[in-house]
Structure 1
Amino acid sequence: MPEVNNVMDPVQLQPFSHQVGGSTSVMSFNDTTLCKPLNPREHYFYLNMPKSLKEFTPEYRGLIEVKLQEDSDGYITYMGYPSDTSDHKKSPVSSCRSSPESSSSDQDIPVILRDKKKKDSDPDTSASIRLLRSGSVEVSTQTNTIFHAVDPGKSGKTSGVNPWSVKCQKRLISQMKKIDKDSKKCKFILLENVAAKFQNPCVLDMKMGTRQHGDDATEEKKQRFMKKCQTSTSSIIGSRLCGMQVYQAKTGKYICHNKYYGRSLTLEGFKQTLHQFLHNGYELRTDVIDGIISQLQKLSYILTEQDTFRFYSSSLLLMYEGHCSQNDNDIGQSSSSNGPIKGGNCNCDNNQKGDKQCHRPDNCKIDIRMIDFAHSTHIGIQDDKTVHNGPDSGYLFGLRHLIDLFTEIKK
């Protein structure tokens, strides 16, 4: 295998426009690949994942090292470099929250770095990040797409990037600045961008299960996470909203909700939010429900077979195409063999009054993926002392209720 350094020049990373949830900032490596700060447990999980789970998780694409650069005007640049190579296929590697000086195996050489057919960045979504003296972060993009946060007390609009992505940028900059004092790089994991095949991705991020804390959580953290579950829909239906964006075909804007809104929801509020997730401003997208239910049922069957696995604090992404077009090809084709299933062709036309109407698609793409495995465990993972028996009943409990709720909406 050729040296990666001879294959790839440093890549300038961009903020990921469609990050709706999570505590860690996600960056775009290119148009089909994302990256985020490395968590050793999550990295191990991806390297040793059962084959049956890969259909419902983003493809693992290796590691890179990232360095933060700031100019005199406060503009921030993230530069991605190929990771060092040596043999540690089963050993954990360090993240930017610990020592960044560990090495990686040939298995960790990013697949994407060896494929120069992939462009390094999408010029239509390039952005500039600026850290203001006030401590806030300003993200400027070359797109006019509007993301409208409608959460109580948090209303506002951002152009080109989901408001939650902007919030996460500030946290990442703070972490990276601490590391960069010693001119060190931070390890990032490269993963498939599962939203890449969508033109206007509608995304629902849900925290799954009735328990969120990992086995290694401190007593303080355990109590804090238990309280979040007990006071939210997690304890009632095994899931809670962690973030959402839904494309409004009528206005060309996204409506967004964040995790704080999700924690405040009652069961009835959760049902109403699922309904909102399926509404494009013209009509309820009942055409995507069968595909969502089918995928949830398949995932439930697969997880039933995963003995000793626990996916504490992991999320489930539900996505569908929000774009309306008279041409099926406008929606685009899946970029992954594990790509979204099809439900329909979304056509828009004008009625007799000249108003635009969106018709139910026959061929709309749908995708469901599990993400965020920083607190997941199973027998044999990193010498964990606690071994659980059977499948993750809390996660399965959440899936059953989601299936019931989407079935109820369809009726």
Structure 2
Amino acid sequence: MSNSPLLPTLAATHPLAAQVGGHAGVQTTEDGSLLLKPALPREIDFYQRIAAVDEHDELSKLRKWIPKFLGVLKLEGQLKDANAVGNGGDGNMEVVPVHGNIAPEDKERLVLENVAYGFVKPCILDVKLGTVLYDKDAPPEKQARMIKTALDTTSGETGVRLTGFQVYGNDSPKPILTPKSYGKSIKKEQLPDGIEKFFPVSSASYPTTPNPIETSESDVSNPHPGLPPILLHCVLTTLQADLEELKATISNIGMRMVGGSVLIVYEGDWERASKAHSTPSGTAATEEDEDDEVEVEIDENGQIVLESIPDEAIEEEEEHQAPLCSLSLIDFAHTRFIDGAGPDEGVLKGIQTVIDLVRQRKDRIAAMLPSDG
């Protein structure tokens, strides 16, 4: 057993600042790389099942689209019962002592990667999926309320609702927030307007000085959100391809997903976005890479703990480069797998709606690009 010091524990946590949807209570580690999310048993079961399935199982294809699962944090302060570290399904388990404050009602928390980690200015959109917004076990009064919500919002007709989003301007240190109330108030015909608000073309000149140390009051109150057309077109092209692949994956899985979302993140910092687009470091790690990220050892008490990582590796991790954009499937508290039931048509309808909206926006941006001639 190595005598070298262990990696820092999860002692220092704080509320997630960039939470645009979902329920309150999500915490993040001090470095921002992990999320601690209060979880119901069904969501815990979901992540454990996906982590445990054989690579030949159709469910294993979901690993690419869900946040990396690191384990379950129990109230007594241990990560326990993770069938795998990450998405590799290799049977390892990550257990570290936790000394942070945990509310008594949060008996168990999922420990997940923060998919926004590494973005300098993360522009984030939570899109609620599905035409059915209630669990079959919900009380009749809640089912009736959720049916009305679906009919009164864009969910019933399109399978999507824009839950909330934030967008950065390159010249502003703070994001522009659009609350949940916006997504609940708009009609089907206004969805393209919402997508345009989340994927704006910056009116600022390019290039500007990225990440200014000092920003005037006028700049903060009148930011220029969005990316230059060429970078935004790249974001939309990538997202359209990812959405189509995600839809194909879900089409082959007997799953009923109530209250789930797709989470879209793209880089709002022009310099970092350009770097992510033009260099291999802007691409996501492969599953093979992920398998090598964590080393484990057994201590004298039989606990599985993290092996220390050389200083050079830690320094490299501090320079973690996020991709230009990412697409994730999240929120599985009311997700069920039903063998032989076929795919969730309401969720597929929602994903197709997002595909159409992204494609329409991409075509609008393409018209702004200089012609080759």
TM normalised by structure 2 equals 0.67
Other-structure match for 1:378:
337
- How far apart are the structure 1 equivalents of 2:131 and 2:94? 35
Q: 1:402 aligns with which of 343, 351, 354?
A: 354
User: What whole-Å deviation, never above 9, does each CA across 1:38-77 have from its counterpart, x for those lacking one?
Assistant: 211000001112210010000110022358xxxxxxxxxx
Other-structure match for 1:43:
44
Query: Partner letter of residue 378 of structure 1?
Result: F
Other-structure match for 2:196:
275
- How far apart are the structure 1 equivalents of 2:169 and 2:45? 39
Other-structure match for 1:302:
249
* Secondary structure of the corresponding residue to residue 22 of structure 2: coil
Other-structure match for 1:139:
none
- How far apart are the structure 2 equivalents of 1:32 and 1:335? 15
Q: 5+ residue gaps in structure 1?
A: 68-80, 90-105, 115-119, 122-172, 340-362, 380-386
Report matched runs for 1:19-168 at 5 Å: 19-29=19-29, 30-49=31-50, 50-66=59-75, 81-83=77-79, 109-110=93-94, 113=96
Other-structure match for 2:263:
317
1:186/1:281 Cα in 2 relative to 1: closer, same or farther (>3 Å)? same
User: What whole-Å deviation, never above 9, does each CA across 1:284-323 have from its counterpart, x for those lacking one?
Assistant: 523311111100000000001002x111111110111111
1:400/1:407 Cα in 2 relative to 1: closer, same or farther (>3 Å)? same
* TM superposition shift of 1:405: 1.5
**Is 1:15 aligned to 2:15, yes or no?**
yes
1:323/1:215 Cα in 2 relative to 1: closer, same or farther (>3 Å)? same
> May I ask how many residue pairs the two structures share in their alignment?
282
**Is 1:237 aligned to 2:158, yes or no?**
yes
RMSD of the alignment, in Å?
3.4
- How far apart are the structure 2 equivalents of 1:266 and 1:44? 35
1:210/1:24 Cα in 2 relative to 1: closer, same or farther (>3 Å)? same
Q: Is residue 266–residue 326 contact of structure 2 (8 Å, CA) maintained in 1? A: yes
Report matched runs for 1:135-284 at 5 Å: 176=103, 179=104, 186-279=107-200, 281-282=202-203, 283-284=228-229
Q: 2:328 aligns with which of 343, 359, 369?
A: 369
Q: Is residue 278–residue 286 contact of structure 1 (8 Å, CA) maintained in 2? A: no
1:64/1:334 Cα in 2 relative to 1: closer, same or farther (>3 Å)? farther
- Please state which structure has a larger fraction of its residues in helix: 2
TM normalised by structure 1 equals 0.61
User: What whole-Å deviation, never above 9, does each CA across 1:122-177 have from its counterpart, x for those lacking one?
Assistant: xxxxxxxxxxxxxxxxxxxxxxxxxxxxxxxxxxxxxxxxxxxxxxxxxxx9x93x
* TM superposition shift of 1:392: 0.6
- Please state which structure has a larger fraction of its residues in strand: 1
- How far apart are the structure 2 equivalents of 1:287 and 1:14? 33
1:60/1:42 Cα in 2 relative to 1: closer, same or farther (>3 Å)? same
1:311/1:286 Cα in 2 relative to 1: closer, same or farther (>3 Å)? same
* TM superposition shift of 1:207: 0.5
User: What whole-Å deviation, never above 9, does each CA across 1:204-257 have from its counterpart, x for those lacking one?
Assistant: 101101111112111111111111111111112110011101111243431111
Other-structure match for 1:390:
342
1:109/1:48 Cα in 2 relative to 1: closer, same or farther (>3 Å)? same
* TM superposition shift of 1:13: 1.0
Q: Is residue 48–residue 82 contact of structure 2 (8 Å, CA) maintained in 1? A: no
- How far apart are the structure 1 equivalents of 2:199 and 2:94? 36
User: What whole-Å deviation, never above 9, does each CA across 1:60-117 have from its counterpart, x for those lacking one?
Assistant: 10022358xxxxxxxxxxxxx324x5x797xxxxxxxxxxxxxxxx979536x49xxx
Q: Is residue 71–residue 82 contact of structure 2 (8 Å, CA) maintained in 1? A: no
- How far apart are the structure 2 equivalents of 1:88 and 1:202? 31
- How far apart are the structure 2 equivalents of 1:52 and 1:26? 26
1:287/1:14 Cα in 2 relative to 1: closer, same or farther (>3 Å)? same
1:286/1:10 Cα in 2 relative to 1: closer, same or farther (>3 Å)? closer
1:213/1:253 Cα in 2 relative to 1: closer, same or farther (>3 Å)? same
- How far apart are the structure 2 equivalents of 1:388 and 1:27? 37
1:7/1:401 Cα in 2 relative to 1: closer, same or farther (>3 Å)? closer
Other-structure match for 1:384:
none
Q: Is residue 212–residue 312 contact of structure 1 (8 Å, CA) maintained in 2? A: yes
1:19/1:314 Cα in 2 relative to 1: closer, same or farther (>3 Å)? same
